[in-house]
Structure formats: structure tokens, C-alpha cells
């Protein structure tokens, strides 16, 4: 991560293009009306530049093509906007939602067409994910805060003790200045974004939210009621703190959770998984989960093993299952790999949220600002 190399800027506003002057080599320009840019286009070096959904005159388009640029116009018959300049918000993905009917929201409508295999559909999904990647990098640059990931099961019920502990941990991280990032789905992912959302509220708000949410503990068998209880919590405490969700339309049967303020939703799960782990330079807390969590665990281990993203980040395994339960084999394999690679001190097994928080604080790398790294192996 990122899909785009750092030397290829992504420009989404006329002043950004203007500031580059005549050097637009390798740039991706998205959604900018070139009529609002005061440049002499005959003098612009647009070698390998891409202009996506940028209104321009026919004459300007000819000049840019002659200068080596690629021009991408709006794709017809596509139900979503591939040429995005921002991350999604809750309001955008929930647009059109009818109470009790999750299938009416924009999120579900996009999911319903996410497996179409026509050439325009495949192209649009690829463009969309590149633009989401670029928007995510801009968000992290502008936020300027260390990112800590919290991973865990998508099926943990809202009333479960793990759900409560993860929410409490995320609230503590957020109050301490971190941005909490999750996979953006239900279960323990929702718990983490919920805790971050309620960080500005008094401590009792989280207990009240648990009472509301636990009346519908799981997404099945009543998806509508599940979503509506989350909306009730949002309406009760409308001013939530910033957190990030990184879900995917691969899991069309799952809702995006309602508590992430910024949502980087992808079509390609492989890009989403790798990127979510890569941005969490402050470290990742692994709570109990299934095969998806284990996949994340060892993908993260590979990133650390090869120092793919400039720093090696802490990996904190929280809960008894990692120490003496069904996940002990995974713990042993991870510890062996880390010790062999010289980064064993970054792997810790802790019992609870206090241990996870203190471990992240203690092991926090010095280079934790949002990265624009080059991919490489050492």
C-alpha cells in the first residue's frame, strides 16, 4: 500500500492542479473542471498523467492526449461512482435506507451489482478501489494521528463480554489520540468503532449503548432490527469521534457498521486486507476471531517479517484463547516466526484491554505517522 506510488500525486481540486504548474507528469487528476484551472495547456507536461471524469474542452483534450495523457470519461450504466475523491461516510452509504430494510440503502444496492463481470463493471471496480486507496492516504495525511488496528470476529454478539471489552479499549485509544481502524463490519469490528464513536461522551454512555444494542445481539435473523438499534445509538449520541472502517463488498450479507466516521469500502478484499494492516503503524490488537482474523494475523506477520512498510509494528494478541485456548497453535507459530526474524519483542499475548493498551503505548514505533511508503523487501 498504496496502490499508487508516492511519486504519482492524486489531485482532486483545481487549486491542487494549479499548484503543480506545468508539471503534471504521472499525476492522477480526478473530478477537476479544467476550465477552472489557469494553465496554458500547450505548455503542460502531462506524460503518463491520467485525467478521470474531468470536464474539459475538446481542444484541451486533444492537447493533453498529444502530451501523453490518458483521458477517462464517465462510465455509463454503472450504479456507483468509480472516480471518487473522498472516502465514504455513513450518510452516503445509508442513503435511501427505509427503516427495517437494509437492502434499500446505497451500500446494499452497490453490493447487489458487485459481482457483475461485464468489461465496464470490472474496469469500474478497479478504478473505484484505486480512488478509494488514494482518498484513504489523503485522509491519513490530513488526520496526522497514529493509527491502531483492532481485529476480531464478525459474529460476536453485542451482549458478549468480548464486545464490551473491545469497545472500552477503542474508547481509551481514541481518547489518547489514536485513530482506531477496523474491518468496518459487525461483531467486534462494530464494537471498536462504537467505542471510538462514544469517546467524547461520558463513561456511562457506553453502558447505555450496550443496553440498546444488546436487545438485537446479532445481524441474523433480523437484519433490519440490528441496523435500527445502531441508528438509535447514533441518534442518541450524534457527535462521535473519528474512526476508520475498511469493509468490503465481498461480504454482501454483512452490513457496514454504523459507527465509523470514515469508510474506505473496497470491492477487492485482497487490497482491502493488505491495506488495512499496512496503515496501522502504531500496531494491531488481535481479539478472538476465526479464519478471517487468522488470515490477518499472518498477513501482518509477513509485513513485519519483510519490513514492507518502513516500520515493524506491534502485534498484540488479546484474550485467553491466544494463551491457552483454541488459538494457541497460531500464537506459537507467530512467536516462532517473529523470534527467528528478530522482531519477537513486538509480539505480546495479554489477558485484557488494559494489557493491550499498555503494550501498544510501550511498543509504539517512533515512525507512526500515516505513511506514503514504497513497497519493497529487505
DSSP sequence for 11-46: E-SHHHHHHHTTB-TT-EEES--GGGS---GGG-B-
Contacts of 218 (CB under 8 A, 6+ apart): 155, 157, 158, 226
Cis-peptide, bond into residue 2, ω within 30° of zero: yes
Q: What is the pLDDT of residues 213-233, one digit of tens each?
A: 999 999 999 999 999 999 999
SS3 for 187-256 is: CHHHHHHHHHHCCCCCCHHHHHHHHHHCCCCCCCCCHHHHHHHHHHHHHHCCCCCCCEECCECCCCCCCC
- Confidence (pLDDT) at 253: 85
pLDDT at 249 exceeding the cut of 50: yes
Q: What is the pLDDT of residues 180-203, one digit of tens each?
A: 999 999 999 999 999 999 999 999
Q: What is the pLDDT of residues 316-368, one digit of tens each?
A: 999 999 988 889 999 999 999 999 999 999 999 999 999 999 999 999 986 54
Q: What is the pLDDT of residues 139-149, one digit of tens each?
A: 999 999 999 99
- Confidence (pLDDT) at 252: 87
Mean model confidence pLDDT for the chain: 93
- Confidence (pLDDT) at 325: 86
DSSP 118: S
pLDDT at 377 exceeding the cut of 70: no
pLDDT at 126 exceeding the cut of 70: yes
Q: Give the residue among 278, 284, 270, 262 at the shortest CA–CA distance from 370.
A: 278
pLDDT at 137 exceeding the cut of 90: yes
Edge-first strand listing for the sheet containing 147-151: 262-263, 244-245, 179-182, 147-151, 283-286, 315-318, 347-350
Domains and CATH numbers, the chain: 10-72 (no CATH), 131-363 (3.40.50.450)
pLDDT at 3 exceeding the cut of 80: no
How far are the Cα atoms of 59, 183, 185, 224 from residue 220, in angstroms, in the given order?
Answer: 56, 19, 14, 9
In terms of residues, how long is the chain?
378
Residue 57 backbone dihedrals phi, psi, to 5 degrees: -75, 160
In angstroms, rounded to a whole number, what is the distance separating the alpha carbons of residues 343 and 308? 14
- Confidence (pLDDT) at 91: 96
- Within the chain, strands assigned E span 10-11, 28-30, 50-52, 70-72, 147-151, 179-182, 244-245, 262-263, 283-286, 315-318, 347-350
Burial of 59 (C-beta count, 10 Å sphere; 0-12/13-18/19+): exposed
Cis-peptide, bond into residue 27, ω within 30° of zero: no
pLDDT at 73 exceeding the cut of 50: yes
Mean pLDDT computed over 13-27: 95
| CB 226 within 8 Å of CB 159 | no
In angstroms, rounded to a whole number, what is the distance separating the alpha carbons of residues 68 and 203? 58
Pairing of strands 10-11, 147-151: unpaired
**Residue 249, by phi and psi: left (phi above 0), alpha (psi -120 to 50) or beta?**
alpha
Instruction: Report which listed range, 75-79, 185-189, 252-256, 306-310, is most confident.
Output: 185-189
pLDDT at 373 exceeding the cut of 60: no
Mean pLDDT computed over 297-312: 93
Amino acid at each position: 500500500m498504496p496502490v499508487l506510488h508516492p511519486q504519482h500525486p492524486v489531485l482532486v481540486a483545481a487549486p491542487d492542479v494549479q499548484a503543480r504548474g506545468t508539471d503534471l507528469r504521472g499525476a492522477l487528476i480526478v473530478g477537476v473542471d479544467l476550465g477552472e484551472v489557469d494553465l496554458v495547456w500547450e505548455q503542460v507536461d502531462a506524460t503518463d498523467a491520467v485525467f478521470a471524469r474531468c470536464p474539459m474542452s475538446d481542444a484541451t483534450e486533444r492537447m493533453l492526449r498529444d502530451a501523453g495523457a490518458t483521458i477517462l470519461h464517465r462510465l455509463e450504466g454503472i450504479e456507483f461512482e468509480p472516480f471518487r475523491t473522498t472516502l465514504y461516510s455513513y450518510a452516503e452509504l445509508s442513503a435511501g435506507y427505509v427503516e427495517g430494510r437494509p437492502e434499500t440503502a446505497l451500500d446494499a444496492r452497490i453490493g447487489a451489482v458487485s459481482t457483475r463481470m461485464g468489461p465496464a463493471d470490472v474496469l469500474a471496480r478497479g478504478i473505484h478501489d484505486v480512488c478509494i486507496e488514494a482518498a484513504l492516504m489523503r485522509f491519513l495525511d490530513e488526520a496526522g494521528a497514529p493509527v491502531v488496528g483492532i481485529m476480531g470476529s464478525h459474529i460476536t454478539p453485542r451482549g458478549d463480554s468480548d464486545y464490551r471489552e473491545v469497545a472500552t479499549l477503542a474508547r481509551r485509544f481514541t481518547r489518547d489520540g489514536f485513530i482506531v481502524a477496523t474491518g468496518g463490519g459487525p461483531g467486534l469490528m462494530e464494537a471498536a468503532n462504537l467505542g471510538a464513536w462514544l469517546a467524547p461522551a461520558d463513561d456511562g454512555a457506553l453502558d447505555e449503548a450496550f443496553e440498546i444494542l444488546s436487545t438485537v445481539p446479532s445481524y441474523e435473523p433480523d437484519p433490519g432490527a440490528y441496523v435500527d438499534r445502531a441508528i438509535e445509538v447514533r441518534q442518541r449520541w450524534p457527535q462521535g469521534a473519528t474512526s476508520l472502517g475498511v469493509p468490503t463488498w465481498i461480504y454482501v450479507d454483512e452490513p457496514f457498521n454504523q459507527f465509523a466516521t470514515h469508510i474506505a469500502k473496497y470491492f477487492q478484499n485482497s487490497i482491502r486486507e493488505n491495506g488495512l494492516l499496512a496503515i496501522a503503524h502504531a500496531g494491531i490488537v488481535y481479539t478472538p476471531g476465526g479464519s478471517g482474523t487468522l488470515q490477518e494475523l499472518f498477513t501482518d506477520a509477513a509485513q513485519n517479517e519483510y519490513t514492507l512498510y518502513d516500520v515493524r509494528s506491534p502485534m498484540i494478541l488479546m484474550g485467553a484463547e491466544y494463551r491457552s485456548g483454541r488459538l494457541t497453535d497460531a500464537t506459537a507459530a507467530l512467536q516462532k516466526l517473529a523470534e527467528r526474524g528478530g522482531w519477537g519483542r513486538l509480539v505480546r499475548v495479554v489477558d485484557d484491554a488494559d494489557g493491550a493498551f499498555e503494550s501498544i503505548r510501550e511498543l509504539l514505533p517512533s515512525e507512526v505517522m500515516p505513511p506514503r511508503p514504497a513497497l519493497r523487501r529487505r
